Amino acid sequence: QMPRGNLETVHHRALVLAQIRKWLNSCLYREAFECMRKLRINLNLLYDHNPQAFLDNVDLFVRQIDSVNYINLFLTEIKEEDVTTTMYPTHSASSVPSAQKSGAKKVDIICDVMRAAMEKLNPQKYCLSILTSYVRKTAPELETALQKVHELRESPPSPDAVSAEEALKYLLFLVDVNELYDHSLGTYDFDLVIMVAEKSQKDPKEYLPFLNKLKKMETNYQRYTIDKHLKRYKKALEHLSKCGPEHFIEFLNFVKDQNLYTEALKLHPVGSSEYKAINDVYGEHLYSRQHFEQAGLAFARCGSLEKALDAFVACSSWQHIVSIASQLKYSEDKMAALARSVSGKLREQRKYESAAVLLEQYAKDYEEAIILLIEGGLWEDCLRLIYKYNRPDIIETNVKPGIIEAKKNYMTFLEMQKVTFIRYKERLSVVRDLKEKARQGLLDDEIPGGLESDLFSDTSSVMTTSDMSGRYSHSNSRISSRSSKNRRKAERKKYSLKEGSPLEDVALLEALREIVRTVDTMRSDVNSLLKVLVLFLYDTDARELQQMYQEFLQLMEVSIQDIWVPCAPPNATLPVLGPHSTANSIMTSYQQQRNLKTAEQETEPFIAPKLSKTIQWKLDLLD
Amino acid sequence: QMPRGNLETVHHRALVLAQIRKWLNSCLYREAFECMRKLRINLNLLYDHNPQAFLDNVDLFVRQIDSVNYINLFLTEIKEEDVTTTMYPTHSASSVPSAQKSGAKKVDIICDVMRAAMEKLNPQKYCLSILTSYVRKTAPELETALQKVHELRESPPSPDAVSAEEALKYLLFLVDVNELYDHSLGTYDFDLVIMVAEKSQKDPKEYLPFLNKLKKMETNYQRYTIDKHLKRYKKALEHLSKCGPEHFIEFLNFVKDQNLYTEALKLHPVGSSEYKAINDVYGEHLYSRQHFEQAGLAFARCGSLEKALDAFVACSSWQHIVSIASQLKYSEDKMAALARSVSGKLREQRKYESAAVLLEQYAKDYEEAIILLIEGGLWEDCLRLIYKYNRPDIIETNVKPGIIEAKKNYMTFLEMQKVTFIRYKERLSVVRDLKEKARQGLLDDEIPGGLESDLFSDTSSVMTTSDMSGRYSHSNSRISSRSSKNRRKAERKKYSLKEGSPLEDVALLEALREIVRTVDTMRSDVNSLLKVLVLFLYDTDARELQQMYQEFLQLMEVSIQDIWVPCAPPNATLPVLGPHSTANSIMTSYQQQRNLKTAEQETEPFIAPKLSKTIQWKLDLLD
């Protein structure tokens, strides 16, 4: 008989729902409620049917229902779910706008308006329902509920009102006793705590000593202890900060233990001694996490200059280093030694300009500074120092050989890049042809397979970018910093340049793009080398370099249109410039592309790189 | 009767051409030639029919034709045109590969092989045809032809050979006499000149005194004079450079007059006194053309230090300026004044770092240097100098107010950019909706027009980027340099932001892209400002700025996917990652796009900008 009964119910329910909707539209809440309760219709419908109407008539609702039990039932059954779309969908487009503005949750909205209505009508009568409305909130307001119970005990409003005892029992029925105990502790109200504790299964020998100990404490320290016990560390910190200087050591330890440095800083006036002490421990924390620069700042803020210096040295923040060393009144010798050591580190990081400033101005070692600038290819700075310190001899001994060396390195580098560029470009055209043939072959059903293996048959070997750029890392000029960057970049590549790999063409596009980018960004470096070559009368070398670079740039410019498809707005069959079509093509592709989001990062190799044609690097002098 | 005759000829020709082709295929050149001559078939066909066969059988061809006149006729009629594709196309796919390799021209190839064949067979007999083969070259070798004539006169090979007289007459029939005279002069052979001159209409009273004057000159100077007369300036310069130091003034003037500086430099050994003098005049030329930096280099190369200094000052090349001033042994006062003035210019160009180095190290004005660094927002450098020169007082008087001012400027700038960003973004969505509606309207044929005017009806006004960024140009911090760049950029914009303009959506995309780019590149500047705010305990300000910037970056990141369509490889309907499809989709779109090249520059606004997420700008300290 079950199936038959079920079918009956289903059929029945459609009619019932129609009736309930009628009642709700006429604000006959009592009728609707009774019917829904009997036939187990989800009570959320009372609200979901027309949220705005419910909110407008909540007083009427409470008055009609007129039952603490019913209201508790309703509040307990409320969920975020909208049953008009899930359980009881209607096909008539009622389109009642949702009342949920400002991101507030349905449950919270209902609890709050119901409570307000009940408080207005009869707070004593609806006492338990009001408690329910606190407990049911998405973030249950247990403290407030407990406070209500406490009020009942302190000043019972009338003999027929709900007793504190009853209210607490009801709360314990809704909420786990341990949770309620913790929250009662969180009100810092010991009467309340004991009231709850008595209702619990807890052993008074356990909680009474603890409560007695707490009672003896100074208020802020007491609250800190409770918060800490409840793991409310931020609140605990706040209370502890009010306990005065005698607890400051404990405060600092607590900050360290709980990693609450930024919160701690906010609790003390900027510039106070406590503020400084917190910065100091924060600095140590940041240092241990290897956030050296921020550690340095934290130490510097609190005047821990030695520690700040250590931290700044660890991250080679050279300006801070010498600033702090000056504040520490370093002797000239000590400063020179420091500058020399930091300069060495900066040199390793190829920060030649800063390294040279340190040597020149803090170690007073002009010669070494000049040699560093030569190593870094910073010719103009290097000449400036040579003439500033009247050391023209260095021009013959170091600058000229340095220039010639740099020019050779540039030539070799450009030559290698060019060879690779041409090889990749040719290989790309081979791969494209093969794939096109394979496609046609598959379409014609003539060549059933084996064409893919043709991709392996071409024996011209393709070096990977990382192989190639690795060769230059011995050089000291600017090029090597670039090529070591390339190497790191190459290691991140997603596609394989290995012959016959399925996306070899994409890998080739990527590699070609990288070469174009690298060579294109050399414009100003080449220009600066050309100028110094010309200044020292190395016209032939300069002309060679200018021609080599010029030809390579031209080769790239001509090749770009063969290698890269111009990336028009997708859906390029629509005219691009018509007044309507642009928005349409965007819209269309937009919708098409939504699901292709993962393809987004794959597009970069397909976009033609742009040459920085506006940068003037050539010297007319050499034409 | 004309039309009828014409028709006959046309019909006839098809048959004739078939016969000629047969003859040519059988190497029956004489038959083919006679027939073509009679029926006025273009003689180029002899070669074009099968270039390789012609080249292989050129000896046979000459022997069969066996007539100087015929060969001259043939050589005179040869043109670059391929008559098998233009005048006498054949439909049978003969597909004879063209013999024109290595870019050599057809005319030149034929002239050269014909001459070689004739020289081998009978140079005396074919004398005139050989001359023709020189004259007919695309760059006529008139000197060589004249030389041949000269040889005939000097040593007539045999009595029955063509006389020099005859040969010259023939040449004059082919080439204009004045041109021939000039070329004879260009051989520097006066006998030849007089021989040609005698045949011309020239008055001996005119040319003889000139020739006599030339004859008296030293060989190189004579050749220089001739070259100059013939306007062959580069050759003239070369000969003049060999005339010794007494002609060097003339050389320099000639270089200046003809603007042959780089050629002149190549003619003298690097470092010679002539080389230096050329650099000096070249420097003046470059200076007058406002190429100040290269002018400075040219002057510096030849030791004209004062002039070099002027030139470098004109382009604010500050390192060169102080280098040269040092070489000129400037007094401390003079150096300070120079440094101060250059520093002022650099400040105007917002090159604060260099400006400060000049003030610090060459004007010894530490205070001004520090104040410049504050103005430029270069906080770490500024603190370094403050401690280096022990001026902590400046921290209170200038640094702290400067930091607070900079923070305010950043906040205002970010706020304005954010407001504009949101306004543009909302307007973009409105424009897209309107265009979509307009499109659907047009498709449904319901709304015949007037929807376009809806684009004008929305009254929310959209400020242009240039209006907006103009507001910030009063500020001295780094922002203003950026916004003035924006303004210049905005002025270059191709699309109008005016409401209802046909490509308003593209203009909005461009403007939005520019805002994203600008705000994104502020990361390291914001970071550096945050650090100095924290260092001087302005935690609240720092936190405000960090939060503001953070929220804006998040807003942009979330908005980018709504604003920009991911730019997938065109033809996105094919699977992007399949092993074959990538190459295919590239190929397909490649062919589609070839004719859409003009659309290439329009694509930029459609490509989503990328945020530099790898740059760490946030301070944990402020969280």
Q: Check A442 against B322: CB less than 8 A apart.
A: no
Beta-strand (E) ranges in B489-575?
A: none
- Mean pLDDT, rounded, for B45-64: 90
Q: What are phi and psi of B39, to 5 degrees?
A: -95, 15
Could you say which of 1.25.40.470, 3.40.50.2300, 3.30.70.920, 3.90.950.20 is the CATH number of the domain covering B256-394?
1.25.40.470
Task: Assess whether pLDDT exceeds 60 at residue A455.
Answer: no
Report yes or no: B73 and B128 within 8 Å, Cβ to Cβ. Answer: no
Testing the interface with B: which of A272, A287, A527, A537 to mutate, by most B Cβ within 10 A? A537
- The pLDDT score that the predictor gives to residue B250 is 92
Q: Compute the distance between CA of residue A136 and CA of residue A77 in angstroms, rounded to an integer.
A: 10
Q: Which of A128, A119, A113 is nearest to A173 (CA)?
A: A128
| Domain ranges across chain B | 13-140, 256-394, 428-567+603-622
B323/A383 Cβ within 8 A: yes
- What string of DSSP letters covers A472-527? TTT--SHHHHHHHHHHHHHHH-SS--STT-TTHHHHHHHHHHHHHHHHHTTHHHHH
User: Residues B398, B372: contact at Cβ < 8 Å?
Assistant: no
Picking from B334, B374, B369, the residue whose alpha carbon sits closest to that of residue B355 is B369
* CB–CB contact A534 B297 (8 Å): yes
Of residues B484 and A276, the one with the higher pLDDT is A276
Picking from A184-188, A378-382, B334-338, B574-578, which range would have the lowest pLDDT averaged per residue? B574-578
What percentage of chain B has pLDDT greater than the value 70? 81
Closest chain B residue to A332, measured at CA: B388
Compute the average pLDDT of residues A391-415. 95
- A243: number of CA atoms within 13 Å, CB side? 22
Contacts of B287 in chain A (CB under 8 A): none
Q: From A261, which residue of chain B is nearest by alpha-carbon distance?
A: B621
Q: At B221, which amino acid appears?
A: Y
B221-248 in b/e form (b: 16+ CB < 10 A) is bbbbbbbbeeebbebbbbbbbebeeebb
The answer to whether B606 contacts A586, with C-beta atoms less than 8 Å apart, is yes
Mean pLDDT of chain A: 81
pLDDT of residue B166: 85
Q: What is the pLDDT of residue A104?
A: 77
Give the Cα separation of B401 and B375 in Å (integer). 11
Indicate if the pLDDT at residue A375 is higher than 90. yes
Surface of A (311-350) touching B: CB under 8 A: 317, 319-320, 322-324, 326-327
* pLDDT in the model for residue A89: 79
CB A86 within 8 A of CB A51: no
Judged on CB neighbours under 10 Å (0-12, 13-18, 19+), A380 is middle
Contacts of A262 in chain B (CB under 8 A): 620-623
Sign of the CA dihedral with B346 first, then B351, B352, and B353 last: negative
* pLDDT for residue A442: 67
pLDDT for residue B581 is more than 80: no
Question: HEC string of B334-399?
Answer: HHHHHHHHHHHHHHHCCCHHHHHHHHHHHCCCHHHHHHHHHHCCCHHHHHHHHHHCCCCHHHHHHH
For the ranges A14-23, B238-247, B491-500, B540-549, the lowest mean pLDDT is seen at B491-500
pLDDT band at A159 (very low <50, low <70, confident <90, very high): confident
Judged against a pLDDT cut of 80, whether residue A234 lies above it is answered with: yes
Interface test with A, best of B565, B598, B604, B610 (most A CBs within 10 A): B565
pLDDT at B144 over 90: no
Q: Which chain B residue is nearest to residue A599, measuring alpha carbons? A: B568
**Measuring CA to CA, how many Å separate B197 from each of A190, B166, B178, B204, B426?**
131, 15, 9, 8, 84
Q: What is the mean pLDDT of residues B235-256?
A: 90
Largest CA distance in chain A: 112
Contacts of B300 in chain A (CB under 8 A): 535
Q: Any CB–CB contact under 8 A between A502 and chain B?
A: yes
Are B237 and B267 within 8 A, CB to CB? yes
Shortest CB distance from A600 goes to which of B436, B566, B600?
B566
A608 DSSP 8-state letter: P
As a dihedral over the C-alpha atoms of residue A262, residue A266, residue A271, residue A273, rounded to 10 degrees, the angle is -80
A294 and B539 within 8 Å at the Cβ level: the answer is no
CB contact under 8 A, B607 and A602: no
User: Within 13 Å of residue B308, how many CA atoms lie on the same side as its CB?
Assistant: 24
Using an 8 Å CB-CB cutoff, list chain B residues near A282.
Answer: 621
State the Cα–Cα distance between residues B11 and A48, nearest whole angstrom: 93
Q: Residue B38's CB: how many other CB atoms inside 10 A?
A: 9
Average of per-residue pLDDT across B168-192: 84
Query: Region A356-372: what's the mean pLDDT?
Result: 96
Which of A416, A413, A360, A419 lies closest to A385, judged by CA?
Answer: A360
- pLDDT given at position B65: 87
Please state, in angstroms and rounded to a whole number, the distance separating the CA atoms of residues B393 and B413.
Answer: 30
Confidence of residue B257 (pLDDT cuts 50, 70, 90): very high
Q: What average pLDDT does this structure show over B573-591?
A: 42
Average pLDDT over residues A518-525: 93
What local confidence, expressed as pLDDT, does residue A551 receive?
94
Q: Is the pLDDT of residue B449 over 50?
A: no
Most distant CA atoms of chain B, gap in Å: 112
How close B492 gets to chain A, by Cα (Å)? 15
Query: What whole-number distance in Å separates Cα of residue B137 and Cα of residue B123?
Result: 19
- Mutate which of B255, B560, B567, B584 to test chain A, going by most A C-beta atoms within 10 A? B567
CA B405, B409, B412 angle in degrees (round to 5)? 135
Task: State whether B326 and A620 contact (CB < 8 Å).
Answer: no
pLDDT of B575 strictly over 60? no
- pLDDT of res. B565: 65
Size of interface A-B (CB pairs under 8 A): 244
**Closest CA relative to residue B32, chosen from B22, A461, B106:** B22
Q: Is the Cβ pair A586, B565 closer than 8 Å?
A: yes
Closest to B588 in 3D by CA, of A605, A606, A610: A606
Q: Alpha-carbon Rg of chain A, whole angstroms?
A: 39
pLDDT confidence band for A9 (50 / 70 / 90): low
- Read off the pLDDT of each residue in B150-177 and give the average, rounded to a whole number: 83
In this prediction, residue B421 has a pLDDT band, given cuts at 50, 70 and 90, of very high
pLDDT digits (tens, 9 = 90+) for B281-328: 999 999 999 999 999 999 999 899 999 999 999 999 999 999 999 999
Question: What is the pLDDT at residue A589?
Answer: 43
Say if A439 is an interface residue toward chain B (CB within 8 Å).
yes
Look up residue A500 and give its two tokens.
């016959």
First to last CA, chain B: 102
**Contact (CB, 8 A) for A611 and A557:** yes
Phi-psi label, residue A98: left if phi above 0, alpha if psi -120 to 50, beta otherwise? beta
pLDDT at residue A358 in the model: 96
Task: Provide the percentage of residues in chain A whose pLDDT is more than 70.
Answer: 81
User: Minimal CA–CA distance to B563: which of B504, B609, B503, B595?
Assistant: B609
So what's the pLDDT on residue B443?
60
Shortest Cα–Cα distance, B425 to chain A (Å): 14
Task: For residues B519-528, give the mean pLDDT.
Answer: 93
pLDDT above 50 (res A571): no
pLDDT given at position B593: 42
Mean pLDDT to the nearest integer, B75-103: 70
Residues in chain A: 623
DSSP string spanning A293-336?
HHHHHHHHHTT-HHHHHHHHHHTT-HHHHHHHHHHTT--HHHHH
B297 at the A interface (CB within 8 A)? yes
Structure tokens at B288: 């007058």
pLDDT at A355: 96
Taking the CA of residue A249 and the nearest CA in chain B, the distance in Å comes to: 21
The top-scoring range by mean pLDDT among A98-107, A135-144, A310-319, B435-444 is A310-319
Distance CA A216, CA A459 (A): 88
Burial of A570 per CB tally in 10 Å (0-12, 13-18, 19+):
buried
Report pLDDT for A586. Answer: 44
Buried b (16+ CB within 10 A) or exposed e, A346-378: bbeebbbebbbbbbbbbbebbbbbbbbbbbbbb
Q: Are the beta carbons of B108 and B137 closer than 8 angstroms?
A: yes
Q: Does the beta carbon of B208 lie under 8 angstroms from any beta carbon of chain A?
A: no
Res A10: pLDDT: 55
A175 or B569: which leads in pLDDT: A175
The B residues from 255 to 294 touching A (CB cutoff 8 Å) are 261-262, 265-266, 270-271, 275, 282, 286, 291, 293-294
Q: What is the mean pLDDT of residues A120-142?
A: 89
Radius of gyration from C-alpha coordinates of chain B: 39
Q: Which residues of B touch A449 (CB under 8 A)?
A: none
Q: Do the chains contact at B567 and A572, CB–CB below 8 Å?
A: no
Least confident of A30-34, B367-371, B467-471: B467-471
Q: How confident is the model at residue B161 (pLDDT cuts 50, 70, 90)?
A: confident
- Distance between CA atoms of residues B529 and B379, nearest Å: 8
Best mutation target among A261, A323, A366, A585 (most B Cβ atoms within 10 Å) is: A323
Tell me the C-alpha to C-alpha distance, in Å, between residue B617 and each of B384, B531, B550: 22, 10, 10
Token reading at B461: 């006004």
For the segment A247-270, what is each residue's pLDDT rounded down to a tens digit? Answer: 999 999 999 999 999 899 889 888
Nearest-CA distance from A559 to chain B in Å? Answer: 14
Quote the mean pLDDT of chain B: 81
Set of chain A residues whose Cβ sits within 8 Å of the Cβ of B276: none
Measured between beta carbons, the chain A residues lying within 8 angstroms of B432 are 583, 586-587
Give the model confidence (pLDDT) of A73-113 as tens digits.
Answer: 999 888 888 888 888 877 654 444 454 445 678 889 999 99
In this complex, is the C-beta atom of B136 within 8 Å of any C-beta atom belonging to chain A? Answer: no
Phi/psi of residue A398, nearest 5 degrees = -125, -45
pLDDT at residue A494, rounded to an integer? 63
Quote the CA–CA distance of B426 and B562 in Å, as a whole number.
Answer: 11
Q: Within a 13 Å sphere around the CA of A603, how many CA atoms are in the beta-carbon half? A: 25
CA distance B428 to B420: 12
Report the alpha-carbon distance of residue A288 to residue A306 in Å, rounded: 16
How far is A364 from A437, CA to CA, in rounded Å?
69
